[in-house]
Structure 1
């Protein structure tokens, strides 16, 4: 009975330890994110050129934003900063998708392998797949519909 009580006590101590350390880790991460956002706010969110904004939206590469605050550039860019730096319209993004070669790059036949994670164009539908398993699909009839769906999906990075 004593051994049982000791084991339960140790398990409770471990649980409390992990809960406290997790809370401390989350607080540290949130503080760092807030510090990064504050540094960008102090810069008054300098305007990025249209080409850079389109590249960020297309590739997800936010180095152009990170480099504005060199002391934090290795820490990453919180997604909430996109609302401050992306000033192009969704229609501009849609038009870019149509003319930039984006659609061709996203054909499943151009993926590194057929099961590669991503949102791919497969004949007359767009598929969202992870580990070769399709999670969502969208039926498309033309390039305009393809661009519209991709623009909506990319635009959700800003609004979510």
Structure 2
């Protein structure tokens, strides 16, 4: 009897751990659009600055650094939002993200190549590249969240 209760308690603890791990992996709904904008806006400013030169190039660099800082802040905010800090080693993160990363990068490269093929200049092609990368990352977050929510429903 006591062994059964102990086994049941351990199963409950393990189920709670799994739910917490899954919940920690959810990305907030606003994260995808914010990450996309943080990538696209610096590309737009860079395209604008290329025609002006001088101080505009410096401003473009500042906006690019600000976009990178926003992305880093978004990652930290998304992690802390869950209240559960589950940190995977870089190798595990790369394995999990390998296929989506390759697909998004290939789509971005294809967008850049197609823009250049059809006569767009470098600045326009770069904006298209970052737009596809941002939308692709957003799509990856939406798909991953859907899979996690499905696992959470299955776990009860």
Fold in common (TM above 0.5): no
Larger RCO, structure (CA 8 Å, separation 6 or more): 2
TM-score normalised by length of structure 1: 0.30
**Structure having the larger proportion of residues in helix:** 2
TM-score normalised by length of structure 2: 0.30
**Structure having the larger proportion of residues in strand:** 1
